Each structure stands twice: as C-alpha cells, then as structure tokens.
Amino acid sequence: MRQLKLIWDFFGPRAQGVAEHHAAHVDEFVRRAGVPATSGAECAAPGHWSAWLVVTEEAALRLRTTLRPNRAVLPDPDDA
C-alpha cells in the first residue's frame, strides 16, 4: 500500500522545540493506537520547522480527522 507523509508546520523562533515536542506526542499517539509509523521533525527553512509522520494511506485517512495535519505529501524514499 502507498505511504503518505502527514506534516504539521511551525514557524518562528520557538518552531524547533514545538515541532520536536509535537512529533513526540504524535509518535506516542500512533504507538498507542498500534499504527506502524515513522515520525520526526525537520527544519524546512530558517524559522520553519515541521513535525512529520509517515504511515500507510489507509492509516492516514483514519488519522487525519483526529491529528489534523496541515498537509500530506508522498514521502521521499528516505522518510519511509
């Protein structure tokens, strides 16, 4: 099944800490839900950090209402 990368964007001087904190909570949520996933945080640009989660498309469709990501993209092969 195809994978999707769910992304939450954070901006400003505290963006790194907020993105890393958010990624930890998202990871904990999917572990408790028993959803296989890969998660993390990354710097998209100066002052712009993103928390992300790579899951199957089926899981993404179920999680999007609860987790409310800003966007979803097809992941780079390095993210999966």
* Res 1: pLDDT: 83
Per cent of the chain over pLDDT 70 is: 96
Average pLDDT, the chain: 94
End-to-end CA distance of the chain: 12
Structure tokens at 59: 């899981």
Write down the residue that tokens 């994978």 correspond to.
3
User: Could you tell me the pLDDT band of residue 65, with boundaries at 50, 70 and 90?
Assistant: very high
**CATH C-level class of 3-73:** alpha beta
| Sign for the pseudo-dihedral over CA of 12, 23, 26, 52 | positive
Average pLDDT for 47-67:
96
Q: Model pTM?
A: 0.91
β-bridge mates for residue 52, sequence order: 7, 40
Per cent of the chain over pLDDT 90 is: 91
What is the identity of the amino acid at 22?
H
